[in-house]
């Protein structure tokens, strides 16, 4: 593809810590004819018209709706603006910010975007139920990095190592997970749980651990981009206990590594996990059901191995970085073509 044919995109907003690194995504998109500049923040001095005037950028892609909410004038630019939507309860910010989105307010604002990019059909339908025209959405599944290691055979000795990663907010349902661990320990199971993340509800989780006498069983640590991936490498099970949330790319990150998963069947978990295939789904806010799911897999190492392999296949088939890059590149090309046609119509009426 020649330089004149290439699409130039400014991608602004936080990147998903569980999906492919921005540098890797940029490389794949370049192969698809998309030149991308990536910034996590748009400083106010950048928001003048010079930044967004052609020929510098063809598209602006906001990866986080709160950025559009805080700077709505971005949606009034002369170039097409794409906005990613991954749910009302953000999980890409592992420090626990920002606050949940009001769906009606967000939907009203997102009508001003050229396209709203959703990771699943169910999320597009959620926005449609709030008033956003379904034709204004485009489903682009997230792209996960390729697996870095073979699936580790399950250990039949030692404690079952369980991991969960995400913001420490009430919607993650971590108290229910801690209670489930307490039930397992009372029943004689040997388990260890690592809870990783930041957030304003850290004290709630800490109190739950202490109240149940689990300080030797449950470890609460801050997210570390260097150390946290090592916890994935040693985990036997990954758990998402969210009672509400966003699209669960944390589950996909575990599945890509061949780790079986247990998830509360809430919002979008069923978009990526089929019960008894890649893992188990349990009712949300139900510690006993979560404990039963964990115990059943603790007693069945070969089932864990089968589910881990199925999870990796699902990510490779439906959430590969290559497929994401192709879908996003196709969307960008469509937006540029639509903009070109609109400009031609305007120029035609002015003659």
- Mean pLDDT score, 69-98: 77
Residue 348's pLDDT band (boundaries 50, 70, 90)?
low
pLDDT score recorded for residue 92: 56
Q: How many CA atoms lie within 13 A of 8 on its CB side?
A: 12
Residue 272: cis peptide before it, omega within 30 degrees of 0: no
Residue 194's pLDDT band (boundaries 50, 70, 90)?
very high
Average pLDDT, the chain: 88
pTM of the model as a whole: 0.91
pLDDT score recorded for residue 117: 95
pLDDT score recorded for residue 76: 81
Residue 282 has pLDDT above 90, yes or no: yes
Three-state SS string over the chain comes to CCCCCCEEEEEECCCCCCCCCHHHHHHHHHHCCEEEEEECCCCHHHCCHHHHCCCCCCEEEECCHHHHHHCHHHHHCCCCEEEECCECCCCCCCCCCCCCCCHHHHHHHHCCCCEEEECCHHHHHHHHHCCCCHHHEEECCCCECCCCCCCCCCCCCCCEEEEEECCCCHHHCHHHHHHHHHHHHHCCCCEEEEEECCCCCHHHHHHHHHHCCCCCCEEEECCCCCCHHHHHHHCCEEEECCCCCECCHHHHHHHHCCCCEEEECCCCHHHHCCECCCEEEECCCCHHHHHHHHHHHHCCHHHHHHHHHHHHHHHHHHCEHHHHHHHHHHHHHHHHHHHHHHHHHHHHHHC
Whether residue 223 contacts residue 198, with contact meaning beta carbons closer than 8 Å, is answered with yes
137-139: strand order across its sheet: 34-39, 7-12, 59-62, 81-84, 115-118, 137-139
pLDDT score recorded for residue 290: 98
Whether residue 12 contacts residue 61, with contact meaning beta carbons closer than 8 Å, is answered with yes
pLDDT score recorded for residue 325: 94
Q: What percent of the chain has pLDDT over 70?
A: 89
CA nearest neighbour of 140 among 127, 128, 124, 157 = 124
Class of 160-318 in CATH: alpha beta
- For helices 103-110 and 121-129, give the axis angle rounded to 10 degrees: 100
pLDDT score recorded for residue 1: 44
Query: Hey, where are the domains in the chain?
Result: 7-145+320-350, 160-318
Q: What percent of the chain has pLDDT over 90?
A: 61
pLDDT score recorded for residue 2: 46
pLDDT score recorded for residue 93: 60
Per-residue pLDDT tens over the stretch 219-246? 999 998 888 888 998 999 999 999 987 8
Whether residue 83 contacts residue 117, with contact meaning beta carbons closer than 8 Å, is answered with yes
pLDDT score recorded for residue 221: 95
Per-residue pLDDT tens over the stretch 107-164? 888 899 999 999 999 999 999 998 999 999 999 999 998 877 788 888 777 899 999 9
Residue 52 has pLDDT above 60, yes or no: no
CATH architecture for segment(s) 7-145+320-350: 3-Layer(aba) Sandwich (3.40)
The reply to whether domains 7-145+320-350 and 160-318 share a CATH topology is yes
Query: What would the two tokens of residue 164 be?
Result: 């969960």
Cα–Cα distance for residue pair 338/323, rounded to 1 Å:
23
């Amino acid at each position: 593809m020649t330089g004149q044919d290439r699409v130039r995109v400014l991608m602004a907003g936080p990147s998903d810590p569980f999906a492919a690194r921005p540098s890797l995504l940029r490389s794949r998109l370049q192969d698809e004819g998309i030149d991308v500049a990536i910034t996590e923040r748009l400083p106010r001095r950048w928001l003048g018209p010079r930044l967004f005037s052609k020929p510098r950028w063809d598209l602006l892609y906001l990866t986080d709706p709160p950025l559009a909410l805080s700077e709505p004038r971005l949606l009034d630019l002369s170039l097409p603006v794409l906005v990613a939507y991954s749910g009302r309860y953000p999980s890409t910010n592992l420090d626990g910010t920002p606050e949940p989105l009001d769906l009606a307010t967000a939907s009203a604002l997102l009508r001003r975007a050229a396209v709203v990019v959703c990771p699943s059909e169910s999320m597009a339908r959620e926005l449609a139920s709030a008033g956003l025209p379904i034709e204004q959405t485009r489903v682009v599944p997230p792209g996960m990095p390729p697996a870095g290691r073979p699936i580790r055979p399950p250990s039949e000795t030692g404690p079952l190592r369980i991991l969960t990663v995400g913001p420490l907010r009430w919607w993650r349902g971590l108290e229910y997970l801690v209670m489930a661990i307490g039930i397992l320990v009372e029943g004689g199971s040997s388990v260890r749980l690592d809870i990783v993340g930041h957030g304003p509800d850290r004290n709630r989780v800490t109190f739950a651990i202490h109240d149940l006498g689990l300080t030797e069983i449950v470890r609460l640590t801050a997210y570390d981009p260097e150390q946290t991936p090592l916890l994935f490498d040693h985990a036997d099970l990954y758990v998402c206990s969210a009672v509400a949330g966003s699209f669960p790319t944390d589950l996909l990150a575990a599945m890509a590594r061949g780790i079986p998963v247990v998830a509360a069947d809430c919002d979008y978990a069923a978009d990526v996990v089929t019960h008894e295939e890649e893992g188990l789904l349990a009712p949300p806010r139900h510690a006993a059901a979560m404990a039963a799911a964990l115990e059943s897999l603790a007693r069945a190492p070969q089932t864990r191995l089968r589910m881990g392999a199925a999870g990796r296949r699902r990510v490779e088939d439906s959430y590969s970085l290559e497929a994401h890059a192709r879908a996003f590149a196709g969307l960008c090309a469509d937006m540029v073509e639509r903009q070109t046609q609109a400009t031609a119509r305007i120029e035609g009426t002015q003659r």
